[in-house]
Amino acid sequence: MDKGVGTTVEYAILGKTGFKVSKIGLGGAPLGGDYGETTDEVVTLVIDRALDLGMNFIDTAPLYGRGESERRIGKALKGKRSDVIIASKAVMRGDPYSYENTIKSVEDSLRRLQTDYIDLIQLHELEQTTYEQAINETLPAFRKLKEQGKVRAIGVNAGSLDLLMPFLREDLVDTIQTYAKYTLVDYTAKDELLPLAKEKNIGVIHGSPLAMGILADHPAPFLQDNTVMLEEAARRMAQLEFLRRSEPKGLVEPALRFSLTCPDIAITLVGTTSIRSLESNTGYCDGRGLSDEEMAKVYSLFPGQRLF
């Protein structure tokens, strides 16, 4: 794959999957229009540029744009499927996590993605189901699809670290994905989840390294009513001023470098439909992190203190 002139993107092995992945991956929610209107043409340009820059991991889900993210990704990757590790999820929020519905969800994703296989299929939002249903219905459906060659690896996704821990302890999956749990304002994943994942060789994918937009000085709209959390976030941000760069959104670079250089996180996801943002974010995936002194100070500020 042509990585483009000057590209310095780092790669890692995604746990027991053995997949060689770019440490920065493209998140699919914006590609479905979840954060603002976009078009097939814009998505194709973004994906083409991501590939040029050396990015080879795209994470999506049926939920994103109610299927539009997968459809646009499939369209953009025509003729380029072998260049990319595609991760998707099942099932659509609001649908049952039954064996039959899981199979149907993945078959629908395959059709939208215009591919015969999905590299990594993940149970989406453990919060929406139960542990019992996950291990008795959803995961067996994934394993059946893997036997059929329709998926290559199996993972789970959740915002709650507590929900993910049983899947790690019992070694039930190849990967786990969480979000906003290894950021400058909340790094609670480092206490138990990351060490156990390393011990089990379960690949870790980390979404929302900017803490739902907080570290970009633009909290996500759905956080606006949570005044207590936003006040606490502002308090923590004030203690991070020593990291702030002079440019607008000056904590973006240190926040991304913080996650991208964590040795126990294989992939950090960034979502964008802006070529400029894509290029700057990818530029931070060069192996340069915070200094030892800066890391020690960050870790001393909010140990064990969840924000979300």
Taking the C-alpha atoms of residue 181 and residue 183, their distance in angstroms, rounded to an integer, is 6
Tokens 């540029």 found at: 49
Residue at 173 is within a domain: yes
Residue at 56 is within a domain: yes
Identify the CATH number of the domain in which residue 98 sits. Answer: 3.20.20.100
Q: What is the pTM of this model?
A: 0.96
What is the per-residue pLDDT for 84? 98
Residue 159 sits in which domain range?
11-210+260-289
Residue at 303 is within a domain: no
What is the per-residue pLDDT for 125? 96
∠ CA 289-269-8, rounded to 5°: 50
How distant, in Å, are the alpha carbons of 95, 140, 167, 276 from that of 13? 33, 25, 20, 27
pLDDT of 271 > 90? The answer is yes
pLDDT of 5 > 90? The answer is no
Residue at 249 is within a domain: no
Better-scored residue on pLDDT, 8 or 20: 20
What is the per-residue pLDDT for 2? 40
Residue at 217 is within a domain: no
Residue at 226 is within a domain: no
Average pLDDT for 84-100: 97
What 3 state SS string does 259-270 have?
A: HHCCCCCCEEEE
What is the per-residue pLDDT for 36? 86
Tokens of 218: 């633009």
Mean pLDDT of the chain: 95
Band (247; pLDDT cuts 50, 70, 90): confident
Residue at 117 is within a domain: yes
Residue 114, number of CB atoms within 10 A of its CB: 15
What are the residue ranges of helices labelled H in the chain?
Answer: 40-52, 68-76, 99-113, 131-133, 139-147, 161-169, 193-200, 227-238, 252-260, 275-283, 292-301
The residues assigned a catalytic role are: 64
What is the per-residue pLDDT for 208? 96
Taking the C-alpha atoms of residue 254 and residue 245, their distance in angstroms, rounded to an integer, is 8
| Domains of the chain: total | 1
pLDDT of 3 > 80? The answer is no
Residue at 231 is within a domain: no
